[in-house]
A and B are shown apart, each in its own frame.
Chain A
Amino acid sequence: MSKTIHTPLTREMARTLKSGESCLITGTIYTARDAAHKRLCELVAKGEKLPLDIENAIIYFVGPTPAKPGQAIGSAGPTTSYRMDAYSPTLINIGQTGMIGKGKRSAEVVNAMKANGAVYFGAIGGAGALLSKCIKKAEVIAYDDLGAEAIRRLEVEDFPVVVIIDSEGNNLYETGRNAYLETLK
């Protein structure tokens, strides 16, 4: 049974989510990857306004393919998250509550998640054609010059994710693998 999440994702809601839980996200989420994160953090450092409302926001680490005629967006699966490790704590500290990506995260990111009540979700890496079907609308809202790396506002419906790391630091990459290996003993 999947849990339904309607955005924005409040800290209270984020704290109820547990590692290993399947969720379906509906509402507004934002895209950003390496280059956009770098620019966002530069704005934070200068105390300037961000081009998105970071409070209770979920950021999806993705650089989609261009939409074909008739499509809202092209293929849009997650990119590897550790490249955002240098930036995520800064954004979590100012209100971001959710991240969607794939792969491991640093201790600094997990500490920021625990301190603030944020969640790291995983979407299936390499399933871009399938995941794009849950994205109903996509609009570039900043950094158009970055092409695939521009920040987009997405409207998603029942976007499937799994909680990989929860706000207490529990990690599905460790527990899932260990639980499987236990069955072999």
Chain B
Amino acid sequence: MRIIQASEITKTIRRLCIDANCHLPADMKDRITCARANEKWPVAQEILDRIIENYTIADTNNVPICQDTGLACVFVEIGQDVHVEGDLTEAINEGVRQGYTDGYLRKSAVRDPIDRVNTKDNTPAMIYFDIVPGDKLKLTVAPKGAGSENMSRLAMLKPSDGIEGVKDFIVKAVEEAGPNPCPPIIVGVGVGGTFDKAAFMAKKALVRKTDERNADPFWAGVEAELLERINALGIGPQGFGGATTALAVNIEKCATHIACLPVAVNINCHVTRHESEVL
């Protein structure tokens, strides 16, 4: 049994909130510079240059890459041999409160979806717990902006729709989103499970590195094919046309019911941010 103090969790979450919002992950920068090198449409080239300039300014000046510093999505992998001294959920929320205040990040959380009163400290965090073997605790903060979140879709397809039905639904979701989610985008997909499990997998797919393909060769092939189909749509950076509509398609899948074929598409923008730390 290993003891981790709640205060240590708060301190870590505070730092992760600030770092994730100001510094784009290296794999994302690689994807964007690679796309810029391959882009032939002049308007698209210009926008990708501005996007690169933007994340460079954010890096240098330690300021948020985007003004939508998101809802704080926090993935927690708790080793089953870990004991947290104190209230874990409150420790995470306190870290978000401190990070968003001290880091000059935007507070975008409202307490109720209808009365819409701002909580003024970006809490509560959206927390996803997972219990794993071992005595470590892994924390990942993935700020999620709403422009792309609002373009996300879920369908309960029929088993007879098969893989073609799944692919068509994903491409249609991206085409209908068009310029709204700030392309070039990352497409997170969850296939299988239940209604809610598919949505969770789609969200989790967005924190997988963009240069890492699904371990199953069949699904890795689907990811590659979909990236090609999506980029053939010609939507382009910001929707002004071009070859760069998506930078990656990340699919997670799992077992499902004999009668089900759920597909969830969680779209993320070119500012796909996340930072992790293992305690």
A residues contacting the other copy or chain, number (CB 8 A)? 44
Which among A62, A82, A125 has the highest number of chain B CB atoms within 10 Å? A125
Residues in A whose Cβ lies below 8 Å from that of B67: 62-65, 74-77, 79, 128, 148
A75 with B65: in contact, given A127-B54, A147-B107 (CB under 8 Å)?
yes
Residues in B whose Cβ lies below 8 Å from that of A130: 50, 53-54, 57
A128 with B54: in contact, given A62-B67, A172-B240 (CB under 8 Å)?
yes
Please give the distance in Å from A75's CB to the nearest CB on chain B. 4
CB of A126 within 8 A of CB of B64, answer no
B-binding segment of A4-12, A49-57, A86-94, A174-182: A174-182
| Interface 1/0 per residue, A30-44 and B, CB below 8 Å | 000001000000000
Does any Cβ of A come within 8 Å of B239's Cβ? yes
Give Cα A162 to B50, complex, Å: 13
Residues in B whose Cβ lies below 8 Å from that of A184: 234
> Which residues, 210 to 254 on B, are CB-close (under 8 Å) to A?
234-236, 238-243
Give Cα A178 to B233, complex, Å: 10
CB of A65 within 8 A of CB of B182, answer no
A129 with B179: in contact, given A80-B150, A177-B239 (CB under 8 Å)?
no
Does any Cβ of B come within 8 Å of A117's Cβ? no
Give Cα A124 to B183, complex, Å: 10
* Contact for A77 among B40, B66, B236, B239, CB less than 8 A: B66
B residues contacting the other copy or chain, number (CB 8 A)? 48
A176 with B239: in contact, given A75-B63, A147-B120 (CB under 8 Å)?
yes
CB of A148 within 8 A of CB of B51, answer no
Give Cα A67 to B64, complex, Å: 11
Please give the distance in Å from A109's CB to the nearest CB on chain B. 14
Does any Cβ of B come within 8 Å of A152's Cβ? no
Does any Cβ of A come within 8 Å of B38's Cβ? no
CB of B63 within 8 A of CB of A125, answer no
CB of A35 within 8 A of CB of B104, answer no
A129 with B63: in contact, given A82-B180, A177-B235, A184-B234 (CB under 8 Å)?
yes
CB of B104 within 8 A of CB of A66, answer yes
Does any Cβ of A come within 8 Å of B108's Cβ? yes
Residues in B whose Cβ lies below 8 Å from that of A128: 54, 64-68
CB of B63 within 8 A of CB of A79, answer no
CB of B64 within 8 A of CB of A129, answer yes
Does any Cβ of A come within 8 Å of B41's Cβ? yes
Specify the chain B residue showing the minimal Cβ separation from A148. Answer: B106
Residues in A whose Cβ lies below 8 Å from that of B40: 183
| Interface 1/0 per residue, A112-127 and B, CB below 8 Å | 0000000000101111
> Which residues, 24 to 74 on B, are CB-close (under 8 Å) to A?
40-41, 43-44, 47, 50-51, 53-55, 57-58, 61, 63-69
The 9 A-B residue pairs with the shortest CB-CB distance in the complex, in nearest-first order: A180-B241, A125-B182, A176-B241, A103-B180, A128-B67, A130-B54, A127-B54, A176-B240, A129-B58
Q: Contacts A127-B54, A178-B241, A180-B243 given; 9 further ones with Cβ under 8 A? A: A67-B104, A71-B63, A82-B180, A126-B65, A126-B66, A128-B66, A130-B57, A176-B43, A177-B241
List the interface of chain A (C-beta within 8 A of B).
35, 62-68, 71, 74-77, 79-80, 82, 102-104, 122, 124-130, 132-133, 146-149, 162, 172-173, 176-181, 183-184
